[in-house]
Amino acid sequence: MACTATPGVPDFERTVSTFLDLASIPWEYARAIHGWQEEWARFCAHFCMGSAFPPHAHEARWQLEIPDPIAAEAEQDLFA
């Protein structure tokens, strides 16, 4: 888009666009850090805790099944 502003007067659209680009930098940085933290948690869950809580076949490899003692007792009562 051609700049139609008169000399000496700042272009409003360009100013707003530049401001929005600069304002989004912290958001993009935080999103990148969050993505890294998610990948690190998946790595730890898969390699550090995978042997303790193996996932079921229908779950993704980073999803862990944590045993629930209350649910286990309820299941025993159901099938008794």
Q: What is the pLDDT of residues 21-53, one digit of tens each?
A: 888 888 888 888 998 998 888 888 777 776 665
| Amino acid 5: pLDDT | 54
| Amino acid 58: pLDDT | 61
Indicate the number of domains in the chain.
Answer: 1
Residue 46 forms part of a structural domain: yes
Residue 12 forms part of a structural domain: no
Q: Choose between 72 and 32: higher pLDDT.
A: 32
Q: Choose between 5 and 78: higher pLDDT.
A: 78
The answer to whether the beta carbons of residues 55 and 63 sit under 8 Å apart is yes
Residue 20 forms part of a structural domain: no
Residue 3 forms part of a structural domain: no
Residue 55 has pLDDT above 60, yes or no: no
Give 14's contacts (C-beta < 8 A, 6+ positions apart). Answer: 3
Express as a percent the part of the chain with pLDDT over 70: 57
Structural domain boundaries enclosing 61: 27-78
By the 10 Å C-beta count (0-12 exposed, 13-18 middle, 19+ buried), 8 is classed as exposed
Residue 17 forms part of a structural domain: no
* Cα distance between residue 13 and residue 28, in whole Å: 22
